[in-house]
Amino acid sequence: MATISFDLVSPENLIFNDDVGTIIVPGKDGDLGILPGHSQVMSSLRPGRVMIYSEDKNLVKSFFVSGGFAEINPEKCIVLAESVVELNSLDKSSIEKEIEELGGKDSKESEEQLSIAKAKLEAITVSFYDKI
């Protein structure tokens, strides 16, 4: 099976760069599964999980991104994300605390942070996509 080159880039550095089998990214209108030979797509992302799989469909790495963009062509996929954290470095209790704190505030900014925090919580609790 062929591979597709995948770059995960945050403003501060290049986080992931390798040839992989499959990637799932959280597109704005729904998750996108990207395999080698995908058609050319440019999509903005919602907060959610970026899952990276090897050629034999084993999960290699999973990240949480708070939004960004993906540029996909048949040989290459680039994800530009504003903040990227590795999924298993997230801590459930601290996120719950964050949500609680943000829930009290009432501004546009905290609303945005709240939705990101909620997405984070969802990302670590759900387990679909762990196996494909």
Any residues with CB less than 8 A from the CB of 87 and at least 6 apart, and which?
49, 62, 63, 64, 123, 124
Of the listed pieces 51-59, 66-74, 100-108, 122-130, which binds other proteins according to CB under 8 A? 66-74
Choose between 55 and 112: whose C-beta lies nearer to other proteins.
Answer: 112
Number of residues in contact with other proteins under rule CB under 8 A: 24
Residue in 37, 44, 94, 126 binding other proteins, rule: CB under 8 A: 44
Helix (H, G, I), strand (E, B) or coil at 62: strand
Q: Does 7 bind other proteins (CB under 8 A)?
A: yes
Bridge partners (DSSP) listed for residue 64: 49, 85
Q: Report which secondary-structure segment, H or E, holds 128.
A: none
Of the listed pieces 10-18, 53-61, 91-99, 112-120, which binds other proteins according to CB under 8 A? 10-18
CB of 5 to other proteins, least distance (A): 13
Q: Does 73 bind other proteins (CB under 8 A)?
A: yes
Question: CA dist 12 to 71, 80, 81, Å?
Answer: 19, 11, 10
Q: What whole-number distance in Å separates Cα of residue 26 and Cα of residue 30?
A: 6
Choose between 80 and 117: whose C-beta lies nearer to other proteins.
Answer: 80
CB distance 78 to 7 below 8 Å? yes
Note the residues at the interface with other proteins (CB under 8 A): 7, 9-14, 27-29, 32, 39-44, 67, 69, 71, 73, 78, 80, 82
